[in-house]
Amino acid sequence: MRPGRFRHFVAIDWSGAKTPRQPGIAIALCGAGTAAPRLVAPPQHRLWSRAEVLHWLQSSLPEDALIGLDLSPALPFADARAYFPGWDRSPADARHLWQMVDAIAADDADLAAHSFIAHPEARRHFRHGKGDCGDLFTPGAGRMRKTEQRQRAHRLAPTSCFNLVGAAQVGKSSLTGMRLLHRLGGAVPVWPFDPLADAGSVIVEIYTSLAARAARIPAGRSKMGDGAALDAALRELGSAPHIPLPRYSDHATDAILTAAWLRTAAHTPELWHPPGLDEIAQTEGWTFGVT
């Protein structure tokens, strides 16, 4: 990726929670240079809804932005050559997966995916709760994408998208994120599923722990609950101190730090061409920054 290709950097901490407005959603934005990222305020309320994030991406995104979404844009595929082995409707690639999730959950408000999770064939593949595990859920940690396997090799701790249980689960947020990506309708290319042009904005999958690691935050202590800790991490990424926030949360500080990290990582060629990507670029995708 050529230097200067992107002029703005956005990190979106996403949420799959059931509530109409999401305390788990935060959007941070910065430009080139060293100024710290700032939080983008929701349009009407103190908290974002998922639909408002979609509208912001459609109508307010700055030019030539690299947008990081903290979710998995696809499910594991390579291990079984299918997202849902044994289901004759199992999609052939990620874009058809997004379409399927959105169609089955079309009546769920605010891009939720409850109806998809409850679908009699889909639910067989997920762990839903204690004592409620689909008969096709892979025992143990559950199925992993190749990028998640690589993350584990680097001593990170991703969880399977087929696990819907616990504070660390990412399945619900990923399924709601697939609805968002489908609703965008290709208006913003999504790496690595779409070809990259010489200009314009691009969406990538992010893992906020990568930003924390780049900022030299010790493993297991990646959450920053105050301004001093956030500024210390930003300094490691060459960023100026942030404008103090009225309230600190893990979601806000994760978004701010990850936007600053995207600014440092965006023009590193090897991050756009990880080994083995071509085999899974259309089915599983990849987490930007994982090598």
Q: What is the domain extent for residue 176?
A: 94-182
Can you tell me the distance from the alpha carbon of 180 to that of 54, in angstroms, rounded to the nearest whole number?
Answer: 6
Question: What does pLDDT average to over the chain?
Answer: 95
| Contact between 266 and 9 (Cβ < 8 Å) | yes
For the cut 90, the answer to whether the pLDDT of residue 168 exceeds it is: no
Contacts of 132 (CB under 8 A, 6+ apart): none
Same domain, 52 and 30: yes
Dump the DSSP string for 206-217: --HHHHHHHTTP
State mean pLDDT over 4-14: 95
pLDDT band at 44 (very low <50, low <70, confident <90, very high): confident
Report the distance separating Cα 124 and Cα 133, nearest Å. Answer: 8
Do 193 and 178 fall within a single domain? Answer: no
pLDDT tens digits along 250-271 = 999 999 999 999 999 999 999 9
For the whole model, what pTM was predicted?
0.96
Q: Percent of the chain having pLDDT more than 70?
A: 99
**Does the residue 166 lie in any domain?**
yes
Q: How many domains does the chain have?
A: 2
State yes or no: pLDDT of 100 exceeds 80.
Answer: yes
- With tokens 């090598």, the residue in question is 291
The pLDDT > 90 percentage for the chain reads: 88
Q: What is the mean pLDDT of residues 33-55?
A: 94
- Verify that 146 and 217 share a domain, yes or no: no
Instruction: Decide if pLDDT at 181 tops 70.
Output: yes
Q: What is the pLDDT of residue 156?
A: 92
**Would the pLDDT of 221 be above 80?**
no
Q: Are 241 and 234 in contact (CB under 8 A)?
A: yes
Specify whether 40 is located in the same domain as 51.
Answer: yes
Measured between alpha carbons, how far is 89 from 69 in angstroms, rounded to an integer?
27
